[in-house]
Each structure stands twice: as structure tokens, then as C-alpha cells.
């Protein structure tokens, strides 16, 4: 069964928020979580925006931002790894961020 990319982006943001709520709260973690939630949400928001774009240029612009935000999400997840006792969720989210990044890259290359 095909998994629509919009759903996948939305699910990535949802799972990231759920993951972040389970992390311990301290000065460092709070800032990392804030950055991660913003970048993961931006992946979905920019992909949705790309699908509603009025021109190819606008489409590519939003896809590039979604790709950038997926890469940024990977970084914040990397920094949060030590905060989680069992980092399986973190690894899954890092993998998904990387897969989304690669999908966006492929779409951009095909569309140029």
C-alpha cells in the first residue's frame, strides 16, 4: 500500500511531538526540544505548502525548505539521543527524517 507523503510528513511531526513530551525537562533539553518541534512541524508545513503552490518555482522553494528542515530535525534528534534511556524512538525518527530528506531531494532533482 502506498503511504502518501503528506500523511508521512504529518505523522513525522506528530511522532516527534509525542517523543519530545517523554523527554526529561532541563535547561538544555528544553531548547533542543523547542528547536526539534519547530523543524519537524516545518517539514510538514512546507511540504503541504509546496503541494498548494501556484508555480513550479514556488513548489521547489517550499520543497527545499522542507528538505532543509528535515536535515535540521536529524541534527536536533542527534543531540537529544543521550537524553533518552532507550533511544529506539530517536533512531526511528532520525531514520524517518533522513528518508524524508532523500525523498525531497529526489523530487527536487526530478522537477528541475
Prediction pTM value: 0.92
Grid coordinates 519537524 are at which residue? 40
Architecture per CATH, domain 5-111, reads as: Up-down Bundle (1.20)
Residue 2's SS3 state is coil
**53 near 79, Cβ under 8 Å?**
no
**73 near 97, Cβ under 8 Å?**
yes
Q: How many angstroms separate the most distant Cα atoms in the chain?
A: 46
- From first to last of the 112 residues of the chain, give the pLDDT tens digit: 456 999 999 999 999 999 999 999 999 999 999 999 999 999 999 999 999 999 999 999 999 999 999 999 999 999 999 887 777 999 999 999 999 999 999 999 999 8
Give domain limits for the chain: 5-111
- Residue 83 is predicted with a pLDDT of 85
Amino acid at each position: 500500500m502506498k503511504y502518501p507523503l503528506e500523511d508521512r510528513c504529518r505523522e513525522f511531526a506528530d511522532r516527534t511531538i509525542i517523543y519530545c513530551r517523554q523527554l526529561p525537562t532541563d535547561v538544555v533539553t528544553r531548547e533542543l526540544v523547542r528547536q526539534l518541534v519547530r523543524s519537524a512541524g516545518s517539514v510538514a508545513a512546507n511540504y503541504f505548502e509546496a503541494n498548494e503552490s501556484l508555480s513550479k518555482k514556488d513548489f521547489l522553494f517550499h520543497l527545499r525548505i522542507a528538505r532543509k528542515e528535515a536535515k535540521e530535525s536529524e541534527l536536533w534528534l542527534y543531540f537529544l539521543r543521550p537524553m533518552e534511556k532507550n533511544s529506539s524512538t530517536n533512531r526511528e525518527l532520525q531514520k524517518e527524517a533522513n528518508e524524508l530528506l532523500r525523498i525531497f531531494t529526489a523530487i527536487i532533482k526530478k522537477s528541475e
